[in-house]
Amino acid sequence: MKTYCIYSDKMTSDPSREHIIPLCLGGHDDFVINVDRKINCDIGSKVDGRLSNDFLILFDRDRAAAQGHSGKHLRPVVKRASLKDGTPVHAIFGKDGLGIFDLKEMAPLERSDSRGQTIELRNISISADIDMMFVAKVALAAGYFVYGEIFRKYVDHSEFRLIMNMDETNLPTNSMALAYNRFYEPSDDDINFHIKRIATGLGACSSVIILPSQNRFGVSVGVLGRFLGFISVPAESKHLPNEGAYRYGHCIYLQDGQLYRCSFDHVRKKMIEMTAR
């Protein structure tokens, strides 16, 4: 039996379960959809894997002790590092501070060793593109998870797909999407953006905030308490539900092993209560 795949916008005869947010990034087994198996593997490597091993995200994973299917607790590691005297080492960051592994002695460097006071780190790369690729992927999957066929019919989800699949030789052109990554610095009076960032960070967990407006469909994504980005695309939002759990938008929080869903109106009222205290 064939199943629709939102990532390819086609039917597939080989579906597999896709965690919209990977478990190692604070995902949940109930926050899943079915997508084509091959595309799922490709996206898992090109998008989910790259973000999961982003140097800054590794600190969030370490802090939250977030584990994936392997059950391993990964710590931020810089493998190309050296001591002041040129000795090659691995620099291992974690809750207990900086650890140094001496590659010549094949043993941890004692904390009392003065050579470890200064280390040189090399080959650290942080990509802003992976933020947007991941947010676009989550927007596609979460939009379909929440709204189903209404999302397919009335939201220009092809814009999300273009961003999800972009690389250095395949950059979206003439895009109608509006996008902001985790490094964006808004002005103090950009109230709408501050609201999105605050709503995403509530609960210090992974979250998806869906915010339809008159002719746009916006999605804000947070990972392990860190705002990751926001993307808005054209949509005929008047056709989307706007009552009950969908009033002014829909929010999903993955906290303490639970999946919580509510309207953005509910979150908005909670934010007002918090600022009034």
Question: Contact 208/261 with Cβ under 8 angstroms?
Answer: no
Whether 71 has a pLDDT exceeding 80, the answer reads no
Average of pLDDT values for 210-227? Answer: 95
pTM of the complete model: 0.88
Q: In this predicted model, which residue has the larger pLDDT, 202 or 15?
A: 15
Average pLDDT, the chain: 89
Sequence-distant (6+) residues with CB within 8 A of 55 are 76, 78, 124, 125, 126
Distance CA 24, CA 262 (A): 24
Return phi, psi of residue 230, to 5°: -140, 135
115-121 contact pairs (CB < 8 A, 24+): 115/83, 115/84, 115/85, 115/87, 116/83, 117/84, 118/83, 118/84, 119/81, 119/82, 119/83, 119/84, 119/89, 119/91, 120/81, 120/82, 120/83, 120/84, 121/78, 121/80, 121/81, 121/91
Q: What is the pLDDT of residue 176?
A: 83
Please provide residue 255's backbone torsions phi and psi, each rounded to the nearest 5 degrees. Answer: -130, 135
Looking at residue 263, its pLDDT comes to 97
Q: For the chain, what are the domain ranges?
A: 66-121, 128-276
* Residue 17: predicted pLDDT: 96
The pLDDT value recorded for residue 146 is: 98
The pLDDT tens digits for 94-130 are 777 888 998 988 998 888 888 888 888 887 777 778 9
Give the confidence band of 24 by pLDDT, cuts at 50, 70, 90.
very high
**Which residue spans within 84-205 are E strands per DSSP?**
88-94, 97-102, 107-108, 119-121, 178-181
